[in-house]
Amino acid sequence: MNKIVKVALGAALILSVGATTASADADKGLKLYSKKLKDACGISGAAMAGKHTQGQWNEINKAGNLAKEIKTICPKASDEDLNDKTLPHYYDFFYKFGSDSGNVPSC
């Protein structure tokens, strides 16, 4: 019985660490925004993230409209900068620094 509990706890720990590692990252989103979208948008990351509240960014992302919203705000953004690899990081960045978050990015 004791061995089963240890195996179960070990598996839970491995899964939780793996899930954290695989998730998107707001800091990476900030770097991607600065590198790929800042010039196209013509506004700072703080201004971009501040276009919506955290709840609004969440709803936009849930609806699958994040790329469309970025293109609305930044019509010069290229489609290749808004791919499936980068969008989760952009979302985490925009959510973390939304207008009602109280957080201010360093870009």
Contact at 8 Å (CB) between 46 and 97?
yes
Residue pair 66/60 in contact (Cβ under 8 Å)? The answer is yes
Question: pLDDT (tens digit, 9 = 90+) per residue, 76-107?
Answer: 999 999 999 999 999 999 999 998 988 777 75
Give pLDDT, residue 24.
77
- What are the tens digits of pLDDT across the range 51-80? 999 999 999 999 999 999 999 999 999 999
- Half-sphere exposure for 105 (CA within 13 Å, toward CB): 27
Q: What is the pLDDT of residues 42-52, one digit of tens each?
A: 999 999 999 99
| Residue ranges covered by each domain of the chain | 25-96
